[in-house]
Amino acid sequence: MKTKIKSAIWVLLLVVSFSFAKEKEKEIPVEVEKPFVAKNLKKWIAKHGMSSKKYQDYFTKYSKKGFRLTSVDGYLVNGKVYYAALWEKGNTSGLVARHGLTGKQYQDEFTKWSKKGYRLIHVDGYSDGKKARYAAIWQKGNQSGLKARHGLTGKQYQDEFTKNHKAGYRLVHVSGYGVKGKLYYAAIWKKGKNNDYIARHGLSSKQYQEVFTKYAKKGYKLTHIDGYDAKGKVYYACIMEKVGGRYSARHGMNSTNYQLQYDNHYYQGFIPVSVSGHDAGKRAGYAASFKSVGGWKHADVKQLDEKIKAVQKTFKIPGVSIAIVKDGKLVYAKGYGYGEKDKKEIASATSLFRQASISKPFTSVAIMKLVEQGKLKLSDKVFGKGRILGTTYGTKAYGNREKSITVQHLLEHTAGGHSWDNNSKPDNVDTWSAAMQLSKKESYAELFKRILDNRNPTHTPGAFYEYSNFGYCVLGRIISKKSGMSYENYVKKNVLKPSGISRMQIGPSDKKNRVYKEVAYYNPGGNPYSLKMRKMDAHGGWIASSVDLMRFMVRVDGQPSKKDIINASTFNTMTTSSLNNGYAKGWGVNGSASRMSHGGGMSGTSTTLKKMNNSISYAILSNSTGNGSGQGGALAKAIEEGINGIVNWPNLDLF
């Protein structure tokens, strides 16, 4: 359906004043830059791909919440106009915004609000498919030393720039736009120092990259970028300034990559300072610039990043994601490389990865919640008449060892011995393949029948440790039986939601069914998409981001920095083992609850979740296996060496 923006219909967005008891911020004159500090990370909102109505709705919503519009960019894709915008927490009084204006309407509004003492701070030109349209923002303030122009051809814009530069004016904003195949420009200049910046327009992607690289080496930072198009070609206009601080820039992004880049930058302590959309050939393209305000020193993150990238290169891993917590605060998270290399979809701090056996700690905590709710005891027996699962599974009479298995035995991997282990090939101890057979399509009833009818435990339960995926599969069925809910839904309600996690789920088996932000998986020696993820739910089926894992860790780590979702006595029980000092109940503990961990690995996935000590925890996830042994250990070593190499820890919390 073609979007129609009639010249007679445009929206006045005049915001009334709001007061906030907690903010206590003074109104900042528009010509003075507000100093950025770490707390500003949570004072920004970015939206893109908005229709005119959606943009209006968001404007109204965020204005009421005390966010003021700082940037709006219109762009035409497939005959429809969309908007990308930025809001900052702050004083919303004295702000006027318009969009969908014709050239005449924009000029009339400019004149009107100038007479009322408003200063133009932003203008964006775009096409509605027939004519030029404009979006603009005015702020109450001093109008002196301001020049604004619109509807300029490339030559006129260059002439205006040269003239204004000689007169002592500095370009502060430029917007390019194509209308019926011709390029035009709108721009704002203000009186002031103008010898410490460069501005370029009409650049191809290659030319823009060359300009960026050249001037970045000379100490210039990208503070403004605008992407625009005409006759199927994309162009860029930019402003680079000699300013302090760390900046980052990206262009040529599709919608998914822009969102992933935004997430990735947030979790590294960056805020967006400029964003624009354009037609990139039947889809939207995006360009953006970000500024670091999180307090990280470049040397600290550089040495950490280099260590991760070195392992990534050695093992040819397409994508890696990490997250680090210090004193209960998320201080850093980042994706490296590609989540989906064929589509060049990046890996981000919020990308979802298969967790493999990191699923087990979630199952353990779910069991502990059932214990706290009085629905279960760790000493409860599992199989046999009157037991938790009764005689639901299998067709043969249970043996004495099977009937003596308890919930605790399952949690501690002391239930089934060699007959329930994960060996993929027979060895000198047993003659069975792995109990779960992860690629085999079968129902839980069929799986349990295959194991219970034919594989009696090789040892007395509780007497022998043998790591078992099947044991945790049994725990999943116990959770379902005792809660009256599916395993997945119980964990979501009682573990994930209280931890602030919303996007975790049991992953799909097929690549074509990948969920939003989920990476793709690679294994030169096998097929990651042969795995039956739903069958693996309780022992290896979850997908999550590195940030999700840190939200979970700080709620179950026994530390007071964030309130745990289990009580102290439950935590002590969960991290205490009856047999193996290195593994408790769903957690590796190395003999001490001050160090909790779990790793995971299966075709296309390598994962680690670890509490290094009572101060620092981390997660590291990858989407590839098969390029050499020792990948998981190398990644864990790299991030730990990187963490130990950090000299200056910032005081921020990205949760």
> What are the tens digits of pLDDT across the range 206-248?
999 999 999 999 999 999 999 999 999 999 999 999 999 999 9
Q: Which residues pair with 248 in a beta bridge?
A: 290
Please give the sequence-ordered ranges of beta strands (E in DSSP) within 567-604, or none if there are none. Answer: 596-602
CA 555 from centre of chain:
19
173 has pLDDT over 70: yes
C-alpha distance from residue 648 to each of 296, 638, 641 (Å): 7, 18, 15
> In angstroms, how far is CA 494 from the centroid of its own chain?
23
The alpha carbon torsion through 216, 221, 226, 232 (nearest 10 deg) reads 10
Note the pLDDT of residue 142: 85
Q: Is 162 exposed, middle or buried (0-12, 13-18, 19+ CB in 10 A)?
A: exposed
In 3-state terms, what secondary structure has residue 49? strand
Please tell me the distance from the alpha carbon of residue 181 to that of residue 210, in angstroms, as a whole number: 25
pTM over 0.75: yes
pLDDT of residue 427: 57
Angle at 174 between CA 172 and CA 177, to 5 degrees: 170
Position 159: which residue type?
D
Q: In terms of pLDDT, which residue wins out, 324 or 16? A: 324
Query: What's the confidence (pLDDT) of residue 35?
Result: 35
What is the bridge-based pairing of β-strands 221-230 and 329-340?
A: unpaired
What is residue 13's predicted lDDT score, i.e. its pLDDT?
31
pLDDT at 275 over 90: yes
Given this model, what pLDDT does residue 22 score?
A: 30
Residue 320 has pLDDT above 70, yes or no: yes
Q: Give the pLDDT of residue 33.
A: 30
What is the chain's mean pLDDT, rounded?
Answer: 92
For 82-114, what is each residue's pLDDT tens digit? 999 999 999 999 999 999 999 999 999 999 999
Report in angstroms the alpha-carbon separations of 650 from 38, 269, 326: 9, 10, 10
CA atoms within 13 A on the CB side of 106: 22
Band (pLDDT 50/70/90 cuts) for residue 404 is: very high
Give, in order, the Cα–Cα distances in Å from 107 to each of 114, 129, 145, 228, 236.
Answer: 11, 20, 18, 22, 25
- Is the Cβ–Cβ distance between 234 and 228 less than 8 Å? yes
H/E stretch holding 116 reads: none
So what's the pLDDT on residue 592? 74
Structure-token match 């001050």, residue found: 594
- Please tell me the predicted confidence (pLDDT) of residue 574: 97
User: Which residues face 85 on adjacent strands?
Assistant: 47, 72
When mean pLDDT is compared across 50-59, 427-436, 452-461, 585-594, the lowest value belongs to 427-436
**Cα–Cα distance measured from residue 283 to residue 285, given in angstroms and rounded to the nearest whole number:** 7
Three-state DSSP string of 354-417:
ECHHHHHHHHHHHHHHHHHCCCCCCCCECECCCCCCECCCCCCCCCHHHHCCEHHHHHCCCCCH
Residue 2 has pLDDT above 50, yes or no: no
* Structure confidence at residue 23 (pLDDT): 29
Q: How much of the chain, in percent, has pLDDT values that exceed 70?
A: 93
pLDDT reported for residue 138: 97
Query: b/e for 71-85, b at 16 or more Cβ within 10 A?
Result: bbbbbbbeebbbbbb
The Cα-based distances of 403 to 61, 111, 179 in angstroms read 59, 86, 77
Q: Which residues, at least 6 apart from 23, have a Cβ–Cβ distance to it below 8 Å?
A: 66, 89
Please say whether the beta carbons of 135 and 105 come within 8 A: no
What CA–CA distance (Å, rounded) separates 133 from 126? 5
pLDDT of residue 196: 95
**To the nearest whole percent, how much of the chain has pLDDT over 90?**
88
Report the DSSP pairing between strands 233-241 and 345-346.
Answer: unpaired
Grouping H, G, I as helix, E, B as strand and the rest as coil, residue 441 is: coil
Q: Could you give the residue ranges of the DSSP H alpha helices within 83-139?
A: 103-115
Per-residue pLDDT averaged across 410-428, rounded? 84
Can you tell me the distance from the alpha carbon of 583 to that of 561, in angstroms, rounded to the nearest whole number? Answer: 25
- Cα separation, 381 vs 384, in Å, equals 8
pLDDT of amino acid 319:
98
37 or 603: which leads in pLDDT: 603
User: Residue 314, by phi and psi: left (phi above 0), alpha (psi -120 to 50) or beta?
Assistant: alpha
User: CA-CA distance, 378 to 368, in Å (whole number)?
Assistant: 9
Residue 31, pLDDT above cutoff 60:
no
What tens digit of pLDDT does each residue of 366-402 get? 999 999 999 999 999 999 999 999 999 999 999 999 9
CB 412 within 8 A of CB 584: yes
> What structural domains and CATH numbers belong to the chain?
13-24+33-295 (no CATH), 335-346+349-644 (3.40.710.10)
Question: Strand locations in 197-351, DSSP E?
Answer: 197-203, 221-230, 233-241, 247-253, 270-279, 284-292, 319-326, 329-340, 345-346
- What gap in Å lies between CA 240 and CA 274, rounded to an integer? 12
Q: What is the dihedral of CA 255, 258, 259, 264, to 10 degrees?
A: 160
Q: What is the pLDDT of residue 594?
A: 82
CA-CA-CA-CA torsion for 100, 102, 107, 109, nearest 10 degrees?
-40
Rounded Cα distance between 77 and 283, Å, is 6
Q: Lowest mean pLDDT of 1-10, 279-288, 413-422, 609-618, name the range.
A: 1-10
pLDDT band at 433 (very low <50, low <70, confident <90, very high): confident
